[in-house]
């Protein structure tokens, strides 16, 4: 697969994971999210998918699209994957309610 096709495939994966996060928390309030482990874990899983896919986007594509915070996305994936005791539910909530909708908008325009 050519690098640009790979980039599109990873962007598609990121977009689909972002869409799922938006669906998971649609009209959900913080209190419900904080107490619903299944939803929290589902959101965390999709954030992992987004970060893993972002990590595989070519350096050239990343440089062409600095509007997407590639390094922050990958760093969050690394925290989720490796620092279990350090994961703050508040940060997941902020990512899901603020960062992911913005990212989804950017990804939709790229695809």
CA atoms 69, 74, 78, 84: torsion sign: positive
> In this structure, what are the phi and psi dihedrals at residue 45, rounded to the nearest 5 degrees?
-60, -45
- Count of domains observed in the chain: 1
Distance CA 33, CA 43 (A): 10
Over the stretch 24-38, which tens digit does the pLDDT of each residue have? 999 999 999 999 999
Domain carrying residue 64: 3-110
Please give the average per-residue pLDDT across 85-99, as a whole number: 88
Q: Is 56 a catalytic residue?
A: no
Over the stretch 43-91, which tens digit does the pLDDT of each residue have? 999 999 999 999 999 999 999 999 999 999 999 999 888 876 666 899 9
Q: Is 82 a catalytic residue?
A: yes
The pLDDT, as a whole number, for residue 1 is: 56
Which member of 6, 45, 82, 91 is catalytic?
82
């Amino acid at each position: 697969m050519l690098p640009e096709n790979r980039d599109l495939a990873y962007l598609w994966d990121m977009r689909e994971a972002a869409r799922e996060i938006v669906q998971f928390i649609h009209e959900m309030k913080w209190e419900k999210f904080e107490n619903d482990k299944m939803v929290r874990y589902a959101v965390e899983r999709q954030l992992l998918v987004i970060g893993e896919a972002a990590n595989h986007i070519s350096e050239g594509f990343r440089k062409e699209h600095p509007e997407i915070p590639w390094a922050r996305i990958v760093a969050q994936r690394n925290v989720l994957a490796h620092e279990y005791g350090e994961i703050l539910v508040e940060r997941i909530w902020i990512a899901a309610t603020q960062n992911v909708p913005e990212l989804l908008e950017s990804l939709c325009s790229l695809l």
